[in-house]
Amino acid sequence: MSQALLVLEDGRVFSGQAYGAEGKSLGEIVFATGMTGYQETLTDPSYAGQIVVQTAPHIGNTGVNARDEESQRIWVEGYVVRDPSRIVSNFRSESSLSEELKKFGVVGISGIDTRALTRHLRTAGSMRGGVFSGEASKFPIEQLISEVQGAAKMKGLSLSDVVTTAESYTIPADGSKVGRVAIVDLGIKRSTIEHMAARGLEVVVFPAKVDSKTLLAANPDAVFYSNGPGDPEAAGAQVEVLREILDSKVPFFGICFGNQLLGRALGFETYKLPFGHRGINQPVMDRRTGKVEVTAHNHGFAVKVEGGPEVQSPAGYGRVAVSHVSLNDDCVEGLECLDIPAFSVQYHPEAAAGPHDSNYLFDRLVELIQKNKAAK
């Protein structure tokens, strides 16, 4: 195995072995704390532009299979692990993780003290990093550091066009149809669509650049904004479209990036968290029921809402409640509009990977659709 280097923008260097494809990858370096679900993590489009550090020390044990993919490819820019499994042991496995990383040209590194790296990122914050292996690792360290310092910053980055669908498509409801949802694909995960279809929702998925006229022409019972990579501040066009949807009074639901864009459409700011939330063991409280859910997260930004429990939307959409909060750092994990039919969560009710505690949010979407239909 050839030597590889992980170089951080603050000059810290870790050395290890090449894992997956050889070459170089540059991106924002972030850590994910899931003990399971590496395949779902790698194929989540929200990780585009990021080098993911897996805090679980042993990765690749169960190989990879087509059924556990959240999209059709691996999206992470680079991959950092401690100890990749030398064998694949699972009856569902179709290939090994290192083969899969090679297939998608993902430059990774193994043999890294991921605990020390994570502690560093937790203190210093997420930053840009680079993985260099093979020929790419043979340049002077100063040169590699300046290459990392020249890489794109996540703040201000727009990545929706990179991950979105090229064409719109429709997925039928399973069983009898209770409604139709028009989805804006900002990097959607397969499980989200499956949860909707399983509840009798037909979904029509549109590219990120869709306008409100096209969305409304699909005659939807609700509009949905998905998760996705990049800085919500750089998604001004989608925020404008969302305002037109809110004005139309068609119900709205958003997940993760979708929550951040609802926040911005309502007139709140978004900001970058020091190192973000990525994992499947994050405690969140639903303020409506007082219940605590263990939830799946993948976000580096959050919506800023001061005061409460109810505040006025600065953009004039009436009262807004912070419906969910993180019990780790109190950040906003959900928004509920009290005067228009719109709500969203910052975390992942589709989980994948993760606990199923928050699947009920898809039932809330169905309830909102039915309530809205009954009111007509």
Ligand X SMILES: NC(=O)CC[C@H](N)C(=O)O
Closest CB 259 distance from ligand X, rounded Å:
8
Q: Which residues pair with 64 in a beta bridge?
A: 95
Say whether residue 130 binds ligand X (CB under 6 A).
no
Say whether residue 298 binds ligand X (CB under 6 A).
yes
Closest CB 141 distance from ligand X, rounded Å:
29
DSSP string, 103-152: HTT-EEEES--HHHHHHHHHHH-SEEEEEEEGGGGGS-HHHHHHHHHTSP
Closest CB 302 distance from ligand X, rounded Å:
7
DSSP string, 296-342: EEEEEEEEE--S-SEEE-TTS--EEEEEEEETTT--EEEEEESSSSE
Q: Which stretch binds ligand X (CB under 6 A): 82-90, 99-107, 222-230, 313-321?
A: 222-230
Q: Is 96 annotated as a binding residue?
A: no
Q: Is 46 annotated as a binding residue?
A: yes
How many Cα atoms sit within 13 Å of 319 on the Cβ side?
Answer: 7
Q: How many residues in the shown chain lie near ligand X by CB under 6 A?
A: 11
Nearer Cβ to ligand X (21/262): 262
Peptide bond into 274 cis (omega under 30): no
Say whether residue 257 binds ligand X (CB under 6 A).
yes
Pairing outcome for strands 319-326 and 269-286 = antiparallel
**Cα 318 from chain centre:** 28
Say whether residue 358 binds ligand X (CB under 6 A).
no
Say whether residue 190 binds ligand X (CB under 6 A).
no
Q: Is 354 annotated as a binding residue?
A: no
Say whether residue 228 binds ligand X (CB under 6 A).
yes
Q: Is 238 annotated as a binding residue?
A: no
| 348 flagged as catalytic | yes
Closest CB 230 distance from ligand X, rounded Å:
5
Tokens (6 digits) for 360: 């009920």
Q: Which of 9, 256, 277, 333 is catalytic?
A: 256
* Residue from 31, 132, 253, 301 binding ligand X (CB under 6 A): 301
Site residues (CB under 6 A) for ligand X, limited to 34-93: 46
* Residue from 63, 230, 251, 254 binding ligand X (CB under 6 A): 230
Closest CB 347 distance from ligand X, rounded Å:
9
The helix (run of H) or strand (run of E) holding residue 83 is strand 83-84
Check: CB of residue 83 under 8 Å from CB of residue 106: no
| 256 flagged as catalytic | yes
- Report helix, strand or coil for 155: coil
* Residue from 22, 299, 361, 368 binding ligand X (CB under 6 A): 299
Closest CB 92 distance from ligand X, rounded Å:
25
Residues in contact with 93: Cβ distance below 8 Å, sequence separation at least 6, in sequence order: 62, 63, 64, 65
Nearer Cβ to ligand X (251/300): 300
Give the integer Cα–Cα distance in Å for 60 and 88.
7
Give the integer Cα–Cα distance in Å for 214 and 206.
9
Q: ∠81-87-93 over CA atoms, to 5°?
A: 95
Nearer Cβ to ligand X (121/144): 121
Annotated catalytic residues are 256, 348, 350
The binding site for L-glutamine comprises 46, 228, 230, 257, 260, 298, 300-301
Residues forming contacts to ligand X in the complex (CB under 6 A) are: 46, 227-230, 256-257, 298-301
